[in-house]
Amino acid sequence: MSYPTKDSISQFVSNGNNADPCVSVVMPVYNGELYLREAVESILNQTFANFEFIIVDDGSTDSTQQILAEYAAQDARIILNRNRENLGLIPTLNKGVALAQGEYIARHDADDISLPKRLAAQVAYLQNHPEVGLLGTAYYRLYPGGEQSLRQPSSTDTGIRWRLLFGNVWCHPSMMFHRNLVEAGKPFYRDFLHVEDYELWTRLVKRTRAATLTEPLVVYRVHDSSICTTHREEQLAMVAEISAQQLNAFFLDPPLTPSEINALRRCYEGRELT
């Protein structure tokens, strides 16, 4: 797999249209210097150029701010915003979403890579399928040793809705959604730390249809500092809690017990009930 290089940024600088962007790419970052250049360049090197790149630095203490300032000086599509102190991921995400002006909002993370055709493919799909407001993609997981694995989430609206009853569907930085799904005056991401995306999707599918592109367009990096590594137990516990809320919506009182919820989840995942 080939990745974009810094040398190819300049050809896109003059093509930006920040006054009326089609897409707002929202990326929070905190002390992300290690992978930041590759993440930023993967957006700047997209084949689709009509976007604004909203980057919110959550009070970083490493060289993150200097790196971002360097790129912002080269490309007017970058909009930098900095928290004076570290506020945490969820308030930082909400700030980025509130700043967005595009018709569509795309998520990106400071340690991941969007492949060059990602924005173009997602915009084309959403424009051709106006009933769909929530769109992910297949993706690669990239491990510290360089190994990769392909992940293919459910692609149909029905499959996605079934999967959301039991757990998350997508990797967060693969997502693009309509900005009209953001309700003024209400927090878009809520206080479900480490699973804020899963909780959000369960709310949004009540208002729009969803889909997944089968072409892998994102590289999701797994490393020692990633959330799925450092907060795995809390993440699993919160997923189980949100799953229980979804499943109990189908049943009359009394609600299912935790053991009954776990049995249903094991059944869905093809494991034995005992």
Per-residue pLDDT band at 14 (split at 50, 70, 90): very low
Q: Which is more confident, 155 or 229?
A: 155
Number of domains in the chain: 2
Question: Looking at the predicted structure, is the pLDDT value of residue 11 above 50?
Answer: no
- CATH of residue 45: 3.90.550.10
> Based on the domain organization, do 65 and 194 belong to the same domain?
yes
Please tell me whether residues 258 and 141 are part of one structural domain. no
Give the pair of three-digit tokens for residue 272.
């034995």
Domain co-membership, 158 together with 203: yes
Cα–Cα distance measured from residue 215 to residue 96, given in angstroms and rounded to the nearest whole number: 27
The per-type count for the chain, helices as H runs and strands as E runs, is 10, 9
Domain assignment present for 59: yes
pLDDT tens figures, 241-254:
898 888 888 776 78
Choose among 192, 216, 232: nearest CA to 112.
Answer: 216
Q: What is residue 230's predicted lDDT score, i.e. its pLDDT?
A: 66
Same domain, 17 and 97: yes
Tell me, yes or no, whether 161 and 247 share the same domain: no
Within the chain, strands assigned E span 23-29, 51-57, 78-82, 104-107, 113-114, 132-142, 148-151, 176-178, 209-221
271: pLDDT confidence band, cut at 50, 70 and 90? Answer: low
Contact in structure between 57 and 29 (CB atoms under 8 Å): yes
What was the pLDDT predicted at 123? 98
Provide the domain limits for residue 254.
Answer: 231-274
**Contact (Cβ atoms closer than 8 angstroms) between residue 112 and residue 218:** yes
Residues 134 and 158 both lie in one domain: yes
Which of 122-131, 194-203, 224-233 has the lowest average pLDDT? 224-233
**pLDDT beyond 70 at 114:** yes
Report the C-alpha dihedral over residues 181, 186, 187, 190, rounded to 10 degrees.
-90
In-domain check, residue 1: no
CA distance 136 to 152: 10
Asked whether residue 75 falls in the same domain as residue 207, the answer is yes
Q: What residues contact residue 88 under an 8 Å CB cut-off, 6+ apart?
A: 58, 193
Taking residues 154-183, what's their average pLDDT?
95
Q: Largest Cα–Cα distance in the chain?
A: 61
Tell me: do 11 and 55 sit in the same domain. Answer: yes
- Residues 178 and 90 grouped into a single domain: yes
Give yes or no for residue 148 having a pLDDT over 50.
Answer: yes
- Mean pLDDT for the chain? 89
What's residue 234's pLDDT? 86
- Coil, helix or strand for 218? strand
pLDDT at 240: 86
Instruction: State the pLDDT confidence band at 195, using cuts at 50, 70 and 90.
Output: very high
